[in-house]
Amino acid sequence: MTNQPTPASLGWKKWILGARPRTLPAAVVPVFIGMACAASSENSIWWRAALAGVVSLALQVGVNYANDYSDGIKGTDAVRVGPLRLVGSGVASASSVKRAAFVAFGIAAVAGLALAIVTTWLLILVGVVSIAAAWTYTGGPRPYGYAGLGEVFVFVFFGVVATIGTEYVVAEQMSLMGLLASVVAGCFACSLLVINNLRDIPGDTVAGKRTLAVVLGDVKTRYLFASLIAVAGIVIIVTSFVAGPFALFGLVGVIAVKPALDAVARGAKGKDLIIVLGAVGKAQMIMGLTYAAGIAIALI
């Protein structure tokens, strides 16, 4: 018990830990890819990409805090193997974590409103739906994250919406290339969640949290992880026929995830999957940067 962190020992650092830095690549990668897809337009306004990045990052941090709050008050995080949870570990009050979530959502809303003013007011509707989906992931009376639908949320909002949304606000266009590339971003983002939920199967099962990993079971969840990476690789190859061979640069990220694939195939569990999660996040960043660079070179 003496090794447990306390609010005093962590100080402000607890908010960084609570934001779950390992998950943040899921927010910035689709923005990079969306920017690259906008490179084909001569009318691109690049400063808007910075606001798109703020929206995506703030939503990711907000959903992480919201998840921490909701799981914490429900007791789901009472016993866990993964990274520190603020409410579940007692290092922050539930009310302060809830407040932090809404501050993050507020930042996303302000940045999104600015983009709506200079593009289309329809973005306000997209923003409202995104924030509502982020909160009800594990919050509210019927959280869909407890019904095996978390991966759907991640794929849609941190894959399709974030990628195509960035392309649209920068170039005011939506392309086939952007749609295909959003699938790659979504698959990698989902792979992070799958590893997270694979690690938490024992605790989530006891707590009654029916994530997709709990529903599928350990073995099938490992196959799901490999399938997501395989689909990402296939779609990268497909996009090379649309944008040109430079898009194949994105396969560097698929290669980079191989150590994680090997660890999952060997049956890594518990704390070992925390290391895998970090490796997937790094591979996701590598994929995002190389894929975006390849698309941009091909389209310019």
Mean pLDDT, rounded, for 10-37: 90
Q: What percent of the chain has pLDDT over 70?
A: 94
Q: What's the pLDDT band for 1 if we cut at 50, 70, 90?
A: very low
pLDDT digits (tens, 9 = 90+) for 182-232: 999 999 999 999 999 999 999 889 888 899 999 999 999 999 999 999 999
What's the pLDDT score for residue 12? Answer: 76
φ, ψ at 268 (rounded to 5°): -55, 140
pLDDT tens string 37-86: 999 898 999 999 999 999 999 999 999 999 999 988 887 765 566 667 88
SS (H, E, C) 189-201: HHHHHHHHHHHCH
The Cα-based distances of 166 to 106, 128, 183, 190 in angstroms read: 19, 17, 14, 19
pTM: 0.91
What are the chain's domains?
23-299 (1.10.600)
Pairwise CA distance, residues 54 & 202, whole Å: 35
The residues facing 103 across adjacent strands are none
- According to the model, what pLDDT value does residue 82 have? 61
pLDDT value at 90 more than 90:
no
Tokens 């490796």 correspond to 279
Give me Rg for the CA atoms of the chain: 19
Please say whether the dihedral angle defined by the alpha carbons of residues 93, 95, 99 and 102, taken in this order, is positive or negative. positive
